[in-house]
Structure 1
Amino acid sequence: MTKVYLIRHGKTEWNLESRYQGAHGDSPLLPQSYQEIKLLAAYLRPVHFAHAYASPLKRARVTAEQLIEHLDQPVRLTIDSRLMEFNLGQMEGMHFADVAKKWPEELKNFRHHPDQYNEQATGSESFAQVIDRVGSAIKEFCRLNPASNILVVSHGAALNATINALVGTPLAHLKDRGGLSNTSTTILETTDAEHFTLEQWNETSYLHKTKVDPTDTI
Structure 2
Amino acid sequence: MKLLMIRHGQTPSNVMGALDTAAPGAPLDETGLLQAAGLVNRLENEEVGSLYASPLIRARMTAEPLATTRKLALNERDGLRELAAGELEMRNDKESLLAYYSVFMRWLTGDLAARLPGGESGSAALRRFTSVIEELEAQDPGAATVVSHGAMLMVWTRAMASNVSLDFIRTAPLSNAGVLALEGSMSKGWVVSSWDGTKLD
TM-score by length of 1: 0.79
Q: Report the CA distance between 1:94 and its aligned residue.
A: 0.1
Who is 1:52 aligned against? Answer: 51
Who is 1:209 aligned against? Answer: none
SS in 1 for 2:169: coil
Q: Residue 86 in 1 paired to residue 83 in 2?
A: yes
Question: What stretches of structure 1 move > 6 A for 4+ residues in a row?
Answer: none
Residues 3 and 189 in structure 1, CA contact (< 8 A), matched pair in contact too: yes
- Please point out which of 180, 187, 192 is paired with 2:174: 180
In structure 2, distance between residues paired with 1:17 and 1:25: 17
Q: Residue 23 in 1 paired to residue 22 in 2?
A: yes
- Please point out which of 69, 72, 77 is paired with 1:75: 72
2:193 maps to a residue whose letter is: E
- Please point out which of 96, 99, 108 is paired with 1:99: 96
Report the identity percentage. Answer: 28
2:169 maps to a residue whose letter is: R
SS in 1 for 2:17: coil
Q: Report the CA distance between 1:192 and its aligned residue.
A: 5.9
In structure 1, distance between residues paired with 2:88 and 2:188: 33
Q: Report the CA distance between 1:55 and its aligned residue.
A: 0.6
Who is 1:119 aligned against? Answer: 115
Q: Report the CA distance between 1:107 and its aligned residue.
A: 3.7
Who is 1:134 aligned against? Answer: 129
Q: Report the CA distance between 1:176 and its aligned residue.
A: 4.6
- CA deviations 1:19-38 (Å, max 9, x no partner) are 10113461121112111222
Q: Residue 150 in 1 paired to residue 147 in 2?
A: no
Give the number of aligned pairs.
Answer: 193
Gaps of 5+ in 1: 205-218
**Aligned Cα RMSD in Å?**
2.4
In structure 1, distance between residues paired with 2:46 and 2:76: 21
- CA deviations 1:40-68 (Å, max 9, x no partner) are 21010122332100011111011111232
Gaps of 5+ in 2: none
Residues 3 and 150 in structure 1, CA contact (< 8 A), matched pair in contact too: yes
Q: Report the CA distance between 1:111 and its aligned residue.
A: 4.1
Q: Report the CA distance between 1:98 and its aligned residue.
A: 4.3
Residues 25 and 93 in structure 1, CA contact (< 8 A), matched pair in contact too: no
In structure 1, distance between residues paired with 2:121 and 2:185: 29
TM-score by length of 2: 0.85
2:84 maps to a residue whose letter is: N
Q: Report the CA distance between 1:80 and its aligned residue.
A: 0.8
Question: Closer, same or farther in 2 for the Cα pair 1:130/1:31, shift >3 Å?
Answer: same
Question: Closer, same or farther in 2 for the Cα pair 1:136/1:16, shift >3 Å?
Answer: same
